[in-house]
Structure 1
Amino acid sequence: MRGPMDPETYTDLLAKARAEVAATLQEARQLRLLLTAAERLFRVQAFDEILDSVLSATRTLLGCDLAHVNLQGADDPGRRQSIRALDGALTEAFRQQRTPAGSGLTGKVAESRSPYATLDYLADQDIRHDPLGDASVRAEGLRSMVGVPLFRNDDVIGVLMAGYRRRIPVGMSQISTLSTLGSLAALALNSARLHEEKLRAVADLRRANQQLQAGTADLESSAVAHDRLTTLVLRGAGAVELVAAVADILGASCVALGPDGAPLEETRSQDTPLHTVPREEWRRTSPAGRAQRLLVQGDAVVWVVPVTAAGEVLGGIALRRPDAPDLTPLEIRTLERAGVVLALVLTREQAVAEARHRMTSDVLLELITADADDQLDRERATQVGLREGDPYVVLVVRAPGQDRGAAQTIRTFAGSRTGLATRIGTDTVVVVPSTDAEQTAADLARRLDSQDPGTDSHGVSGVAVGASGPLTSLTRLPQAFREAEACARARQRLGGAERWATSASLGHLGLLLGAGGSGRPAEFVERSIGPVLDYDDRRGTHLRETLECYLETDRSLQKAAHLLNVHPNTVTQRLGRVGDLLGDDWQEHARLLDVQVALRLRRLQDG
């Protein structure tokens, strides 16, 4: 049986009991804090929130002055280390520090893959020191440190570190607590990583689904456009309908272009000038065969897709949409597909036109080269579109070395006016419905001028257009052809700025060509001085007589007045009336010569 316990023994036992109770309470407190930290860690999903929770728990459980986490990629261990999250730092140098891999406390923990504690960091020789890292630690005033690795599977993904601004022994209890926090942090970070990857995967799937839906919509839209264009081709639609369909599909205004890049007449609209492609731009873009964005007239956006077949440029499509000038990739593909369809249409039309041209060319050749005694084949003339009684103008184009582009331009001109064209030697003959020979000739010359704008060293154009008509009797076609041919030959020999000529525009030279019939002198007199003759007949005046005396006396007012036995002022007044009737330019050299010849022809007619 034990005796009574002495006071000293009792005091020792009581102290030990109190210490054990305090340690148990401290462990329970730490365990509660760890559980609270774990609950917070797994309640959040964002990386930064997890790191903030880990650092807060580290400072609370270990009573340290500073805590930070360095994270690194497991597949890139050689890169420089930087602090990802930090709590308790006082200096900017420590916040911004970047140290080489393997240096400092974090480098030693990462390489050894185990916890490490140091009583005095700067004096610890087992650590590989870096000057910049040591400077930041010294500026922060840190002494004792402890760090533990963070793992994902077998890979070190970072280091959790606690620092003290005093020397303090770090025991197994602190290392164990920090290791537990590190394990929880690694699990939470891995969970957050998986959550972020899941969110990214979901976002990628959503984007892929949106792209798939957009692609499906594009395919459906493209299929609808393709079906519409194909239906038009199968129905035999021409370029006009096709271009109108493209304009409707893309919500824009469109025109078809010819081989030279100029808008086709039948597809022109009010804003056609804005669709016109400059010649140099067309020459540059036409071989490409792909839709291209061009700026015309300053800043107007026009999309152009050339149409080619077998290496030959057949034309193109020009598109303009002022409200939304830039096309989407789908719209560009639709425009290019329309270009392919237009190539089919133009190739078909070209083949049909070629066959029709050969047939009409043969008939026209027979009509214009017929002898006077040949009977007109009215049935064949009707088959090619020529009707007795309708007005026609005959044109002859002389163009030495006429290339395919010029020939196509002439044929296009004839076709656009429901006319005919054929070749005779090096010349091309065109017959078109018209009542104005001069205007028709000028139009064709202007069209050809875009093909051959130059002249040779003598000022003689390489292209000349002669015209005759209008005629309403098809039996006059041979005569009109010879007259137009003579006018073209004269125009080419005479040179000058004009590229076209008629017997009327040539004046007295038209009579000397010998191409006209017996009625030509009378027509020449009428054109040259007809208004003067009519005025004399109506008013009983003497303008013709005055004009003859004036010209026979070398345009002397005094001598003419003497011959007429009138005052010179009277001569002046009569010549003023002549100017009113013939035009102010009647005394210019070319006109004056025509007037003189006409007056003498009139005298001959009067007998």
Structure 2
Amino acid sequence: MVNPVGMSTDHVQSADRPTADAATPRGTGALPHGSDGTPCGEGTGCHAGAPFLELLARGAPADAYEQPVLRARAEDRPADCVAALEHAKLLALRVRAELDGRRRREAELSALFETAHDLAGLRDLDSVLPAIVQRARSLLGTDVAYLTLNDAARGDTYMRVTEGSVAARFQQLRLGMGEGLGGLVAQTARPYVTDDYMKDARFQHTGTIDAGVQDEGLVAILGVPLMLGPQVIGVLFAADRRARVFEREQIALLGSFAALAAAAIDSANLLTETRSALADLEHANEIIRDRSGAIERASDVHDRLAELVLRGGGVHDVAAAVSQVLSGTVEFTEATAAPAGPLEASRAEGHAVRHGDDWIAAVTAGGELLGALVLRGHPGLDPVDQRTLERAAMVTSLLLLARRSAAEAEQRVRGELLDDLLDARDRDPRLLRDRATRLHADLDATHVVLAARLDAPAADADQEAAARRRLWSAASHLAATRQGLAAARDGGTVLLLPLQPGTTATDLARRTAHHLGTAVHEAVTVGASAPVGDLAAHPDTAAAAYAEARRCLEALRLLGRTGDGAAVEDFGFLGLLLAGDRDIAGFVDRTIGRVTAYDERRGTDLIRTLEAYFTCGMSPARTKDELHVHVNTVAQRLERVGRLLGDDWQTPARTLEIQLALRLHRLSAPPQH
């Protein structure tokens, strides 16, 4: 048999044993001749080959071949006959040895074929390696078989699989290149064998390797390289726990088996790599499919968002469209309602950030935080879907900016109309009414003029200007939702709001102060005028009402009622005393104006009756004497006053204001000559 691993006498140590071939000269195989030239046994009745052919035929053991020679000698046969039998015996033993060798080689080849067949059926390395070691142990009939694989990264070979091993330390050995028998095989790519490893000085002994070998009790060791082309990938070993001489045929057999094992290992590795590559391809295909689906969803949402923008959709329409595409719930929230930390992180990074099971995308414009889009209950978000959410946030910011621009334009128009009402008293009433109608405002309805101002001091001029802008923006939004008007004026804001039935100017002032304060997160004080009507026909009343509202605002400030709202009617003559610009005529008109107007229209004398009534201590009997009229006349006049001023006109607070107004009215009247 040809040695498949290139062994030589320098590397393979085996015992020199004499064989039948060596004892017998190789010739023609003919029987020896006698002195007369005839073959031994001819004519003597000695048939030398017959008994040995019978022994060969029945496969007798080697010692049985001595029996024919011994019988011939015992029977005292001729010397030439005994010599012929001896020669025939040697030839028969040669034939027997040749037949045994062929049968052994046939068995080995059969075992190799079976091994190749078995290994071909295995598909992974963890199955192939144990099968190799088990078959190697079976082929050579050793106590232990094991296999090491080379580690290119660490530059050594390590124990991978063992069969028949009982020592844990041995099973965990690592052999450096050139160390021990296995390290030498791995380094030189040649087989090595030893009858007694511990006594063999050819190998580089180390404490770790020797300790492992001693724990396992190994004595005789045979190692052959596992080769893939010129590369050594490992070493296959067969070992006994007693001294043993491994024959050349056994070494060659293990070498042939190692070649099959290396091919099987390579096939298993290739199959594993192929499976891994297929798995990677499948994973890549899944990623591609997912990305393709995500891209299709992104394209779909892009088309939907574009359509929404073109048809004038709102923020909530964007959230609904993204919810449908991402199969989740997307909501738009104000900046104050979203979690502060994730919202700030999203604004700083420019990307959507995860918050628990939600995703938050900041809606910003020029560094200003406008709100957030929140995707609820969707912890696993594909990067493309994340980008879709971020794009939706960008579209939302554009919509908010567009809405703000439109609102600001409308606010400016509303402010210009209110400025015209306050400043240009000679405006055409019809034109004013048309302009108000386009803004959904009704100047013919009853309104209240409100003056609003921030009370908290600002750190500098820039902060003060920013605070005023916020107040104006909040007031403009309130006016737009209430079908009113708003404008920035005199360091604050003025509003013209319709007065709903059942609501007083005081109620409206307080609600407005609360609403604006909540919107700007600061205290806002609001003063309100008395209700005014028919502003289109009498635009000058708007200016007078604004003056009243400012006086009321000043009175609130002087009284320390910051962040509150009140109307002129709440202060009476105190408002006149507290206000910086005292409007005497306005106070008189608000208090007794309806009575003076009645006297002017009807030619009555109700004002004089009121003066006499208070002068006489509010006694009708004494009043009739003062006026020289009947007491019933006094009663009728006072009843008329009650209908004009209200049922509570004789309460202490009202009588004080009425008496003051009467005195101011008398003082302001031109002297009579």
Instruction: Report deviation, 1:319.
Output: 2.6
- Tell me the distance in 1 between the aligned counterparts of 2:341 and 2:124: 60
- Tell me the distance in 2 between the aligned counterparts of 1:306 and 1:25: 85
Asked if the contact 1:70/1:85 (under 8 Å) is kept, the reply is yes
The Cα offsets for residues 43-93 of structure 1, whole Å up to 9 and x where unpaired, read as 2121122212211221121111111111124x43x4443211110102222
Q: Which residue of 1 aligns with 2:103?
A: 25
Superposed, 1:221-300 pairs within 5 Å as: 221-250=297-326, 255-257=331-333, 261-262=335-336, 276-277=337-338, 286=347, 288-294=349-355
- Tell me the distance in 2 between the aligned counterparts of 1:42 and 1:386: 92
- Is 2:346 the counterpart of 1:346? no
Superposed, 1:156-167 pairs within 5 Å as: 156-167=232-243
Gaps of 5+ in 2: 1-37, 42-80, 458-463, 594-617, 619-647, 664-673
TM-score by length of 1: 0.75
Q: Which residue of 2 aligns with 1:44?
A: 122
Aligned length: 509
Q: Which residue of 1 aligns with 2:27?
A: none
The Cα offsets for residues 1-29 of structure 1, whole Å up to 9 and x where unpaired, read as 31125233333333333222222222211
Aligned counterpart for 1:207 among listed residues 283, 286, 291 = 283
Q: Which residue of 2 aligns with 1:337?
A: 391
Q: Give, as a single letter, the amino acid of the residue that structure 2 aligns with 1:3.
A: C
Asked if the contact 1:394/1:481 (under 8 Å) is kept, the reply is yes
Change (3 A) 1:279 1:56: closer
Change (3 A) 1:128 1:446: farther
Query: Highest Rg: 1 or 2?
Result: 2
Aligned counterpart for 2:490 among listed residues 414, 422, 425 = 425
Asked if the contact 2:511/2:565 (under 8 Å) is kept, the reply is no
Q: Give, as a single letter, the amino acid of the residue that structure 2 aligns with 1:27.
A: R
- Tell me the distance in 1 between the aligned counterparts of 2:445 and 2:40: 154
Instruction: Report deviation, 1:596.
Output: 4.5
Q: Percent identity?
A: 32
- Tell me the distance in 2 between the aligned counterparts of 1:252 and 1:440: 43
Aligned counterpart for 1:520 among listed residues 569, 590, 609 = 590
- Tell me the distance in 1 between the aligned counterparts of 2:299 and 2:149: 53
- Is 2:239 the counterpart of 1:183? no
SS in 2 for 1:366: helix
Gaps of 5+ in 1: 263-275, 296-300, 455-460, 524-547, 549-581, 583-593
SS in 1 for 2:486: strand
Q: Give, as a single letter, the amino acid of the residue that structure 1 aligns with 2:565.
A: W
Change (3 A) 1:278 1:126: closer
- Is 2:546 the counterpart of 1:481? yes
Change (3 A) 1:292 1:14: closer
Aligned counterpart for 2:422 among listed residues 368, 372, 380 = 368
Q: Give, as a single letter, the amino acid of the residue that structure 1 aligns with 2:451.
A: V
Asked if the contact 2:573/2:657 (under 8 Å) is kept, the reply is no
Q: Which residue of 2 aligns with 1:502?
A: 567
Change (3 A) 1:391 1:221: farther
- Tell me the distance in 2 between the aligned counterparts of 1:83 and 1:370: 103
Q: Give, as a single letter, the amino acid of the residue that structure 2 aligns with 1:51.
A: L
Q: Which residue of 1 aligns with 2:23?
A: none
Instruction: Report deviation, 1:121.
Output: 1.0
- Tell me the distance in 1 between the aligned counterparts of 2:347 and 2:592: 53
Q: Which residue of 2 aligns with 1:319?
A: 374
Q: Which residue of 2 aligns with 1:554?
A: none
- Tell me the distance in 2 between the aligned counterparts of 1:281 and 1:194: 49
Aligned counterpart for 1:2 among listed residues 39, 45, 60 = 39
Asked if the contact 2:358/2:378 (under 8 Å) is kept, the reply is no
Asked if the contact 1:398/1:489 (under 8 Å) is kept, the reply is no
- Tell me the distance in 1 between the aligned counterparts of 2:497 and 2:321: 31
Asked if the contact 1:363/1:381 (under 8 Å) is kept, the reply is yes
Q: Which residue of 1 aligns with 2:629?
A: none
Instruction: Report deviation, 1:471.
Output: 4.1
- Tell me the distance in 2 between the aligned counterparts of 1:303 and 1:32: 68
- Tell me the distance in 2 between the aligned counterparts of 1:520 and 1:293: 62
Asked if the contact 1:393/1:470 (under 8 Å) is kept, the reply is yes
Q: Which residue of 1 aligns with 2:654?
A: 598
Q: Give, as a single letter, the amino acid of the residue that structure 1 aligns with 2:175.
A: T
Asked if the contact 2:587/2:661 (under 8 Å) is kept, the reply is no
- Tell me the distance in 2 between the aligned counterparts of 1:84 and 1:470: 99
Q: Which residue of 1 aligns with 2:411?
A: 357
SS in 1 for 2:389: helix
- Tell me the distance in 1 between the aligned counterparts of 2:237 and 2:341: 72
The Cα offsets for residues 86-106 of structure 1, whole Å up to 9 and x where unpaired, read as 101022221222333432221
TM-score by length of 2: 0.68
Q: Which residue of 2 aligns with 1:14?
A: 92
- Tell me the distance in 2 between the aligned counterparts of 1:167 and 1:334: 76
Q: Give, as a single letter, the amino acid of the residue that structure 1 aligns with 2:371.
A: G
SS in 2 for 1:9: helix
SS in 1 for 2:529: strand
Q: Which residue of 2 aligns with 1:35?
A: 113
- Is 2:449 the counterpart of 1:449? no
- Tell me the distance in 2 between the aligned counterparts of 1:327 and 1:204: 22
Q: Which residue of 2 aligns with 1:542?
A: none
Q: Give, as a single letter, the amino acid of the residue that structure 1 aligns with 2:251.
A: I
